[in-house]
Amino acid sequence: MKQGRIIIITGSPGTGKSATASILAKESNLPKSVHMHTDDFYNYIQKGAILPILPESQEQNLIVIEAFLEAAKRFARGGYDVIIDGIVGPWYLKQLLKVVQDNYEVHYIILRATKEETMKRAVNRAQLDEDGNIELVEKMWNQFNKLGSYESNIIDTTHQSIERCVSTIKSVIEEKSFLLTI
């Protein structure tokens, strides 16, 4: 059985992560695939949950990241193409590189749109009030705006349809151009 790949689709809210990841999982060129949404792992916490954007959530967020990466590795060992969709910023690079050290093929793809487009797409759909959403989306956009060496892992979705974005991602996966290495 061939080991599957782990493909991380990340970026701020409103960049097309979920729609793109869902299509990628359904159209995977491997015989089996799974679409893992990181927010689901936060929803598993039934008692003691801390809003992930708060500074005091750091330990909880690390546990959640490690939990879904362990699940992703298990699916990959089972031959699944694992499409991870969520806010997996470079601040979790240490955990991602551990997965690479364990000999998994990990693609790190960051979707980004202009600030104006991101705000337009994301502000009215989240569960916070509009002012809270504006602040949150702006903060997340800023976190994904200056990524240093990971700027080369960005796909600009500002003027791309979901279908075009999926096609671009399929190409970078095939070319292994957004592959994480140690």
Q: What is the CATH number of the domain that holds 25?
A: 3.40.50.300
Round to whole Å and give the CA distance between 116 and 133. 14
Residue span of the structural domain in which 97 resides: 6-175
Is the residue at 27 inside a domain?
yes
Structural domain includes residue 1: no
Q: Model confidence at 133, in pLDDT bands (50, 70, 90)? A: confident
Does some domain include residue 181?
Answer: no
The alpha carbon dihedral of 95, 96, 97, 100 has a sign of positive
pTM: 0.92
Separation between Cα atoms, residue 71 and residue 47, nearest integer Å? 21
Identify whether 182 is part of a domain.
Answer: no
Number of domains into which the chain is organized: 1
122, part of any domain: yes
State the number of CA atoms in the 13 A half-sphere of 119 facing the CB.
11
Q: What is the DSSP letter of 35?
A: E
For a pLDDT cut of 70, what percent of the chain falls above it?
94
- Tell whether 69 is covered by a domain: yes
pLDDT at 1 over 60: no
How many Å apart are CA 175 and CA 116, to the nearest integer? 31
Tens digit of each residue's pLDDT (9 = 90 or more) over 149-177? 899 999 999 999 999 999 999 999 999 99
